[in-house]
Chain A
């Protein structure tokens, strides 16, 4: 353990994780520890295994080897909804909301999983405090009664975050929450992240260096299924190995991505 690690106990511990897809090793001996209350950024070039890591933690993908401990409880082998019930929530890289339901119905469903069957059988009357708060924090209150299918791309991402907040998870895993957002929307999302991180443990996958510089504290860099390095933003940016894996891909200034192989004609 490095001396810089805070005294807080680990909430998420990933040990020796290996994920294989049809013979292709996507994650190869990955270790990661996230302390309670931390805001952790996860970066890495395309295909580094960031989404796969989240998929394993949330039960969507089964690892070939390794452990995932959430507050000491093994998550590997548990079904998706059980993991949610333990307090782990996630969003998806391409947002998935229920388009036929209204915004408030989406958030209400996310909040209602703790209710028993008799209460689920009742009609929702009004908006519960949890749901109202989640809508308020994500700025969706005014859109509450709109069908979710009518939301803009950015608003859908916020709706996902609102649904996540309404679940009241202890650990939030966000997969590229600002992808495809306008500059304004990114800023609002960044502020939202910082605010959420005040009372939650949050892991954010994000490529965007400018976003990282503005909002990240601790950053973990993944590359080819392993942890390349870990540290604060300045440290990570100065690391020559990080520069190398990102070289020509996504530099500090948001240049267009170029494959490392250099097949450019």
Chain B
């Protein structure tokens, strides 16, 4: 095995520095393999109800990708990402309810709550040309306004996290309070048709699953490209030294707002996809607790790694399903314990453990190939 560049010298490398050198094709090959597994193998072997379950998990994984960007790369602990998931979800659900009600008709729950006229807030969502873009643009707009005003005041760290959390709590209270407008704590449910397609047919569910897989793949690739761009490098620089970045001639407010907005748009997309998959959107699905759980999933998967975030969300949801079937209440404790274990023993999460493993392997390999040739350590002897 040849290495294109010499491995990092020294024994204790700083935490998430450069990844160990692997052949160039391993990344794309692994990506393609996972994509094929998800698109071909899983649908062939898994029963329909499980496909639907996986599609839900993937929606959470999508939101986790956004968190990995904002938190992992940008250092903004987004403890209220459910807000954006919810906005995207409601935008989609409102459109679906209006489709179900037919032109000029009122959604069923409004009729039951005694609403007689189409609320102004709802009217535009009848058109897919408004509703579908709104799914990402609305969360993006909210995040941009919020981010700009907060980051400009140099609010960061725990204050930012608490603010996000409070936002999630306030959003849920608002939704529950407006029964006639939002369906209250029951949320919105029963969506038979999406863009003319009958959602109750099994093929539709498979189609949705494929759409979600493709969305996760596309967002993953887009965020990865962003991470590698100059702006992505700048985001990492802002995370590690916001004040220093100002003296490079950049306004950190702009960089942070941009990343926060992007992550909110991804969460909005996730929420919108979740709606036809799950057939329901309600405050309990994205409130304070689910928002925290998303962050825990990202921490466990590895917040510095986009792939790690996806893996974390999938694993945690799979574990929850199988675990809470047996011990319903134990899950919360197990999840908390896992979170603490990761923070203490593996702050870079599963992705970090995987990277350390790879590094160890490649180090062993170079030692084995270098030893008979030189007999001396492979690295140069510079002090």
A residues apposed to B, CB below 8 Å: 58, 79-81, 84-85, 89-90, 92, 96, 98-102, 105, 108-110, 112-115, 117, 119-124, 145-147, 149-150, 163, 167
Once bound together, how far apart are the Cα atoms of A109 and B250, in whole Å? 10
What are the nearest 6 A-B pairs in CB distance? A113-B249, A80-B246, A84-B249, A149-B14, A147-B17, A120-B231
B201 at the A interface (CB under 8 A):
no
B225 at the A interface (CB under 8 A):
yes
Once bound together, how far apart are the Cα atoms of A81 and B18, in whole Å? 29
Chain A nearest Cβ from B172, distance in angstroms? 35
Q: Are B230 and A99 in contact (CB under 8 A)?
A: no
A-B contact pairs, 26 of them (CB 8 A): A58-B247, A81-B247, A81-B249, A84-B247, A85-B249, A96-B244, A98-B236, A98-B237, A100-B14, A100-B17, A109-B233, A112-B234, A117-B231, A119-B230, A120-B230, A120-B231, A121-B231, A122-B230, A123-B230, A124-B230, A145-B5, A147-B8, A150-B8, A150-B10, A150-B13, A163-B248
Q: Are B228 and A123 in contact (CB under 8 A)?
A: yes
- Give 7 new A-B contacts, CB below 8 A, not counting A98-B236, A120-B230: A113-B249, A117-B231, A123-B225, A123-B230, A147-B17, A149-B17, A150-B9
Q: Are B246 and A98 in contact (CB under 8 A)?
A: no
B226 at the A interface (CB under 8 A):
yes
Once bound together, how far apart are the Cα atoms of A244 and B316, in whole Å? 69
Once bound together, how far apart are the Cα atoms of A167 and B248, in whole Å? 7
Chain A residues whose CB sits within 8 angstroms of the CB of B236 once the complex forms:
98, 100-101
Chain B residues whose CB sits within 8 angstroms of the CB of A105 once the complex forms:
233
Q: B312-352 CB contact bits vs A (8 Å, 1 = yes)?
A: 00000000000000000000000000000000000000000
Once bound together, how far apart are the Cα atoms of A245 and B250, in whole Å? 40
Chain B nearest Cβ from A125, distance in angstroms? 11
- The closest CB in chain A to the CB of B17 belongs to A147
- The closest CB in chain A to the CB of B16 belongs to A100
B241 at the A interface (CB under 8 A):
yes
Chain B residues whose CB sits within 8 angstroms of the CB of A98 once the complex forms:
236-237, 240-241, 244
Chain B nearest Cβ from A111, distance in angstroms? 9
B50 at the A interface (CB under 8 A):
no
- The closest CB in chain B to the CB of A106 belongs to B237
Q: Are B229 and A122 in contact (CB under 8 A)?
A: yes
Once bound together, how far apart are the Cα atoms of A105 and B36, in whole Å? 35
